[in-house]
Structure 1
Amino acid sequence: MAEMQIGMVGLGKMGGNMAERLRRAGHDVVGYDRDPKTTDVASLEELGQRLQAPRVVWVMVPSGDPTRATIEELGEILEPGDILIDGGNSHYLDDQKHAEQLKAKNIGFIDVGVSGGVWGLKNGYALMVGGEPADVERLMPIFEALKPEGEDGFVHAGKVGAGHFAKMVHNGIEYGIMQSFAEGWELLDAADIVDDVPGTFKSWRTGTVIRSWLLDLAVRALDEDPDLSDLKGYAQDSGEGRWTIQAAIDHAVPLPAITAALYARFASRQPDSPAMKMVAALRNQFGGHAVTSSEGQHAKGADSPGADVVPPVEAQH
């Protein structure tokens, strides 16, 4: 495998480990980060000066404005024949805009969806790539060094934007799988028939159709905290789940599981769900079902002496 020189912009958890994996494979990596303790150069301009033409620069910074600003600045530094890679979690429509801007200067653009997290340094990173075939072929020594060993873990998914689109869908699927594991865990924990919930999860790791790395990580989490009591039931979303659902709407593709998983994360951020207040109120109205006050006290319901609910016949249950 031919050795290459590459600039890495953004040396955080992902970018830093990727730079290290490339160095271990024999590539010359010049890194830039705003943290003076980790950077090799003081500025993007110095990065451009340190790299030999034709240059390759991999941007690994947060999506949105940070990525847009970095690409715009690099567009003024790089020269015809250079290639810029966006390996962050950018929206695929942004990729197309960036490619057009750089194409006017004869600078190549590649988008790469990267999966592997903090384990990628050891295990390798799954890479989903979008861009011109000639540019992708030129960068294969870099991709070969980053991907896991074996045939899988890399795909030239298609034209510019395809890499991040594929990663977006990957993350949407991840939402759905994680939600299924979470709901299964909650049901096992709620029932009084299963005494060993962590052991049950662990038993699924071999011989079952749901064995997976996510299951392994669930087992690891339960080993560290068997009832997850150290955690608060609050889950953020990176934005890619929303983009996946928007793309589904744009293409009229039904995604009920992924959509429900995203909405479940939204629900996790509500300590007292307004929607559930309405559900409780309606259940009380049509069926006289008991409700709980905001102070946690049992309020009037079907069996309460003070219940004065008289639902219409057609609404009774």
Structure 2
Amino acid sequence: MHMQLGMIGLGRMGANMAERLVRGGHTVVGFDPSPEARGLASSKGISPAASLAELIDRLPAPRVLWLMVPAGKIVDDTLAELLPLLSRDDVVVDGGNSFYKDTMRRGQMLAEQGVHYVDCGTSGGVWGLAEGYSLMIGGETTAVERLRPIFATLAPAPDRGWGRVGPGGAGHFTKMVHNGIEYGLMQAYAEGFAIMQHKTDFALDLHQVAEIWREGSVVRSWLLDLTADALGKNPKLAGIAPYVEDSGEGRWTAAEAIDLNVSAPVITLSLLERLRSRDGDSFADKLLAAMRNEFGGHKIKAE
């Protein structure tokens, strides 16, 4: 079934999702504050709008609007600008990585105006355009059902890789935990490969090991496929700083685990390891060296 929708935010994820929808036979009007992003979108069959007001004007009511903007204040600002333009029964989908409690608050606010709010935790990254996206959806059943053709087109298959997981907020909550698990998996692979890299007597070819593990092994996964790919392109990881960012989802997962009295040491420690990676001048490590010197006369290595 053909649908019309507005995509707000034509960055890497938003533009790719809009393109996948266009390829699937839907009509997409797109808005992004950047003229470059709008120009690029128009070359992919997405019809660009110069403003949010124009985007709303060009969609038939009841409208479907999909937000692909960074989590936090930008979502609130966009909704504040949209609300006066929206009509009863319009549906707004937040497909970004919003904190689920913010989602619940926003859903309440929109419901007061008769507008439906659907949260969609989206996984798939830069590969989603070709492979499809994994979609974890929260919101009223009727609103989600109305968008079924859109989810079916975005997902890897119409009946796989997507589903309504619960009421408003449940989609973003599930995606938050998904990202927490991702931190733990990545950390385990990273530690294992580091141990092998340090075993110099065996001169292991890490790319070869990764390739062997990809077939039939208990630890095979898409993350391992990507790891093998990275090691194939750059076996020594030359030019990569040992500095790891985090998008915030791992922090929320760890905090939620504490709130719920759930022990989540692997996810929590993998987050702490990322924070550790950014401390190029660790006061804690200097103090450890100083303590060892105080109690045991152990030598301090000068900077």
Letter in 2 for 1:48: I
Q: Residue 306 of structure 1 corresponds to which residue in structure 2? A: none
**Equivalent residue for 1:44?**
52
SS in structure 1 opposite 2:202? Answer: coil
Match of 2:217 among 208, 215, 238: 208
3-state secondary structure, aligned to 2:188: helix
Structure (1 or 2) with the greater helix fraction: 2
Counterpart amino acid of residue 13 in structure 2: M
State TM-score, norm by structure 2: 0.94
What one-letter code is carried by the residue in structure 1 that aligns with 2:295? F
Unaligned runs of 5+ in 2: 39-47
> In the TM superposition, what whole-angstrom CA distance separates every residue of 1:123-174 from its partner, at most 9, and x where no partner exists?
0000000000000101000000000026431121101000000000000000
The AA in structure 1 aligned to 2:8 is V
Q: Secondary structure at the match of 1:7?
A: strand
Question: In the alignment, does 2:243 pair up with 1:234?
Answer: yes
Match of 1:87 among 89, 95, 102: 95
Correspondence for 1:309: none
**Identity percentage of aligned residues:** 50
Shift, 1:283, TM fit: 2.7
**Which residue number corresponds to residue 257 of structure 1?**
266
Cα deviation code 1:48-98 (max 9, x no counterpart): 000000100000000101111111211111110100000011000111111
Is 2:152–2:158's contact at 8 Å kept on the other side of the alignment? no
Between stretches 165-174 and 263-272, larger displacement belongs to 263-272
- Counterpart CA distance in 2 for 1:43 and 1:109 is 21
Q: Give the alignment partner of residue 177 of structure 2, picking from 159, 164, 169.
A: 169
The corresponding residue for 2:43 is none
Cα deviation 1:216-269 (Å, max 9, x = unaligned): 111111111101021000010001111111111111111100110011111111
| Residue matched to 2:166 | 158
SS at match of 2:200: coil
Q: CA deviation at 1:292?
A: 0.9
* Contact 2:151–2:158 (CA under 8 A) maintained in structure 1: no
Q: Distance in 1 between matches of 2:259 and 2:244?
A: 26
1:197 aligns with 2:229: no
CA drift at 1:3: 0.6
Task: Report the secondary structure of 1:112's partner residue.
Answer: strand
* C-alpha distance in 2 between matches for 1:235 and 1:164: 23
Aligned-partner Cα distance in 2 for 1:132–1:52? 21
Deviations 1:109-131 (A, max 9, x none): 00000000000000000000000
Gaps of 5+ in 1: 295-317
Question: Does 1:35 pair with 2:34?
Answer: yes
| 2:120 counterpart SS class | strand
Amino acid at match of 2:266: A
- Structure 2 counterparts to residues 8-23 of structure 1, below 5 A: 8-23=7-22
1:62 — aligned with what? 70
TM-superposed deviation, 1:279: 2.0
Shift in Å, 1:276: 1.4
Hey, what's the Cα distance between the residues in 2 that align with 1:231 and 1:146? 33
Amino acid at match of 1:79: S
Matching residue's letter, 2:259: D
Counterpart of 1:129 (choices 134, 137, 148) is: 137
1:2-60 per-residue CA deviation (whole Å, 9 max, x = no partner) reads 11000000011100000000000000100001122333111000000000001000000
CA 1:280–1:150: 2 relative to 1, 3 Å: farther
For 1:155, the aligned partner's letter is: G
Matching residue's letter, 2:245:
Q
CA contact (8 A) 2:13 2:126 kept: yes
Which structure has the bigger radius of gyration? 1
1:314 match: none
Match of 1:313 in 2: none
Deviation per CA, 1:147-205: give whole Å up to 9, x if none.
Answer: 00264311211010000000000000000111111111111111113321221122111
Q: Distance in 2 between matches of 1:217 and 1:22?
A: 26
